[in-house]
Amino acid sequence: MKHNVGAKKPDLVELSRVRDRVTFLYLEHAKLNRQDSAIVVADSKGTVFVPAGIISVLMLGPGVDITHRAMELIGDAGMSVVWVGERGVRQYAHGRTLNHSSLLIERQAKLVSNIRSRLAVARKMYQMRFPNENFSNLTMQELRGKEGARIRQVYRELSKETGVPWSRREYNHDDFDSGTPINKALTAAHQALYGLSYSVIVALGASPALGFVHTGHDLSFVYDFADLYKAEISIPIAFKMAAEDDDEKDIGSRTRLAMRDAFVDGKIMIRMVKDLKFLLDAEDDQEVESLGLWDDKTGLQKYGVQYSERDEGAD
C-alpha cells in the first residue's frame, strides 16, 4: 500500500488570505524541493526553508531546477508561480493560483464587454490617481492626456529631487544592460510591481488579460492595475536607486529588494485586494468555491445530479 509523504493537502479555508501573504520571492540558480510543508531552496551559499502558505508569488529565474513534489506543494498551497527571465524582466509562464471561484472573472468580463461600463471602470482608475478631480464626463483620450501629463511631472520632480538626469523612458526588452541606470531601475521596479499585481489579480480569480485601458495582450489588466501604483511606489524607488553610488551593474537586484521592502512596509497587498474589488464592483461579495450548471431558462442548477429528460421539462 502506498503511504502519503509529508503534510496533508490543506483546505482552502486553512490557507493564508492573499492580502496576508508575503508579496513575492525571486529565485535563480537554485534547486527547489519539498520537505513537509516547506519549499527547500538550495544553492552554492546554503539551504533555506520557505513555508509555502505564506508566499504570494514565486518568481523562478534562470538556472532553477524544481522537483515534482515541490510543484505539488506549491499548487496545494495556492502559491502563484511565474517563470521569468534574468533579473525578472520577462514572464514566460505561470501556474494556477489560490481562488477557484469564477465570481470576479465573470464580473470583469461583463464590465469590459460593454462600452459604458468599461469606460466607467477606466474613469474609476483615473479617479483613484486624481482623487480631487472629477472624471465623470471625460473621454478616454482626455483621460490618457491627463495621465501622461501627470507622469511627466512625476519624472521631472524626482529628477530634480534626486539629481538623476532624465530625458525619456526607453529600454530594450532583449538587452537589459544596454539601458541607462535610471531606465534599468525603472524596468526592474515596474517588473516587480507587475509581478505583484499579477499575483493579486489571478489569486482572487480575475483575468490578467481583460484590461479596461490596455487591450490586446494577455497581461492587459496587469498593466492597468499596476499603473495605479507606479507614481507612488516604483518610479520613486527607481530614482532613489539610480541616485545611489553603488555598483551600477547591481542596480536591478538592489531595486527589486527595495521594491520588496516597500511592498511589505506599505501593506500594498491589502490595498490591492480592496482596490481590485472596488474596480470590479465586488466589494461586498464573497468568493466561495462552488461548481454549478448554467441553464438559459431556470438559472443555476446543482452540479453532480443525474438529470433526466423529465427533470428538464420534456413532454
pLDDT band at 283 (very low <50, low <70, confident <90, very high): low
Q: Is the pLDDT of residue 312 over 70?
A: no
Residue 106 is labelled as binding a ligand: no
pLDDT at residue number 7? 42
Closest CA to 253 of 22, 86, 93, 100: 86
Residue 214 is labelled as binding a ligand: yes
Instruction: State the Cα–Cα distance between residues 133 and 124, nearest whole angstrom.
Output: 11
Extents of the domains making up the chain: 12-94, 103-279
Q: Is domain 12-94 given the CATH code 3.40.50.970 in the classification? A: no
Cα dihedral 173, 157, 274, 241 sign:
positive
Residue 296 is labelled as binding a ligand: no
CATH superfamily of 103-279: CRISPR-associated endonuclease Cas1, C-terminal domain (1.20.120.920)
- Span 110-138, mean pLDDT? 91
Pairing verdict, β 55-60 and 64-66: unpaired
**pTM (whole model) above 0.75:** no
| Dihedrals phi, psi of 269, to nearest 5 degrees | -65, -35
**Set of cell numbers at residue 295:** 441553464
| Residue 108 contacts residue 207 (beta carbons within 8 Å) | yes
